[in-house]
Amino acid sequence: MWSVVGLGNPGRKYRDTRHNVGFLFVKRVAREWGARIKKKKYSSKVAVAERGGEKVMLTLPQTYMNRSGWAVKQMVQEGGFQPHKMVVVYDDLDLTLGTIRIRREGSAGSHKGMKSIVQEVGTNQFPRIRIGVGPADPRMDAAEYVLSPFSKEERRRLEKSLEEAEKALMYILKGEDKKAMNLYNKRMSGPV
């Protein structure tokens, strides 16, 4: 079974902020796949859907961004999920809004949610989809910026990248992550 983990913060206050792009992505996928995210398991809200004959758990950790690793560790230890079959989706301030990047593994960079996962799970060997939310407004602190909502124009650009990220996810779930990287890391590199 695969797990798709969207990173974000629970609660109305954070719902439409840049830092909740992972949540927005997983909720979009759930709608597209006809799944309802409501069951509570592994300190997360989850739904199970089927894609390509395999079950996929759509996961929204409820432990807040900086403690995302707690929920993911529960999935691995209690649920028996293998890190290499776990796709983590999150915001990236270093990528321009409207772009995505797919990686099979790697460091957490400066993202505190990813740092928490790598620390708690004990590996960085899992695929991830980074969704651009940058560049930051130079008049704002980075933390303040990622916790601010999108404008209408920014939301339109975000929707395009969420659509592309969903297509990339389908390749990853089929074990074709290299193809996803070749297609989407290049395709999304210019302005949208």
- Which positions are annotated as active-site residues? 19
Paired sense of beta strands 86-96 and 128-134, if any = parallel
Is residue 56 within 8 A of residue 173, CB to CB? The reply is: yes
Please name every residue paired with 41 in a beta bridge, in sequence order, or none if there are none.
Answer: 44
Dump strand ranges (E) for the chain.
2-6, 39-41, 44-51, 54-61, 86-96, 100-103, 128-134
Burial class (CB in 10 A: 0-12, 13-18, 19+), 28: middle
